[in-house]
Amino acid sequence: LFQLMRAHVLRLLEQLDAVGERREERILEWANGRISGVPGSTSTIGTFSDPALRSGTFLLRLLHSIAPESVAQDQILEGSTQQERKLNAVYAISCAHKMGCTVFSTWEDLVEVNPKM
């Protein structure tokens, strides 16, 4: 099983490398564009280490823009306290799993805005 997961991750990274030098910029443009039409979305991010990611609301709204049935909007907390940020991060990971996403981060990575997440 580990070898299958490793092969999947390597293939995914190879596909991303094919995008070229502007890979991060293009992903950020796509993410900001996706959430612009989601109710309650007011923020955008400029980098993968943007402090706005800390609350978890951006990621949850992004997931909602992709699969609205996987994210209950009324479960998204403001993210103004450490506890709310943790709950949002745990919920985001749960929603991503429900959508069939491969998740490489822990809730701590999300709350701490770990640039390697």
DSSP-assigned states of every residue in 15-50: HHHTT-TTHHHHHHHHHHHHHTTSTT-----SSTT-
Residues of the chain scoring pLDDT < 50: none
pLDDT exceeding 70 applies to what percent of the chain?
A: 80
- CATH for 2-111? 1.10.418.10
Count the Cβ atoms, other than its own, within 10 Å of residue 92.
Answer: 24
Q: Where are the domains of the chain?
A: 2-111
